[in-house]
Amino acid sequence: MTAARRAVEPGRFRHALGQFATGVTVITTTTTAGPVGCTVSAFCSLSLDPPLVLACLGRDRSMHRALTSAPGFGVSILASDQGVLARDFARPADRFAGVAHSSGRYGPHLDGAIAHLDCALYEIRDGGDHVIVLGLVDAVVVHAGEPLLYAQGAFLDVPGPDWERAAASAPQEWLLSAPW
């Protein structure tokens, strides 16, 4: 085995990826037993045309099993003050107990989130010990607020963007693929 092909030790790999800050979402769907959901930070936009998003879920998670028979899923993009909610949806429990939410097309929308997406299930792909869930977005609602960010095992408090200064300057090249 060459050095380039050696497997990276899982703990070291996890630590390295923890340096990358992400937003935090809760993915939901509705089953015959009721609503289910889980916290997902491995979430991003994939395509503008058609409007696709992707989420990565552990293959052994109950949410993966629920999505294999669901027509779609909801995404709640969490607000900066929803860290407790993110932790609650990351733990095994009745995650919806006492949680304010409203009905979405495919799964509940959590109250207080800064955006909600309704996604028809487009495809589930293999991703090693995870699956890559692709959703075709068919409805979007955006609310005011700052996003919840996560890196290095903690939620981050980052000041919001200076939109006036950003609008006055040319967009950075990496922003050109942003979905707005």
Per the rule left: phi > 0, alpha: psi between -120 and 50, beta: everything else, 34 is left
CA distance 29 to 117: 12
**CB-count exposure of residue 105 (10 Å: 0-12, 13-18, 19+):** middle
Is the bond leading into 50 cis (omega within 30 degrees of zero)? yes
Confidence (pLDDT) at 174: 44
CA distance 166 to 141: 23
Confidence (pLDDT) at 160: 62
Q: What angle is formed at CA 57 by the lines to CA 55 and CA 59, rounded to 5 degrees?
A: 145
Confidence (pLDDT) at 165: 54
22-152 CATH: 2.30.110.10
Residues of the chain with pLDDT under 70: 1-5, 158-180
CA distance 90 to 87: 5
Q: Where are the domains of the chain?
A: 22-152
Confidence (pLDDT) at 143: 96
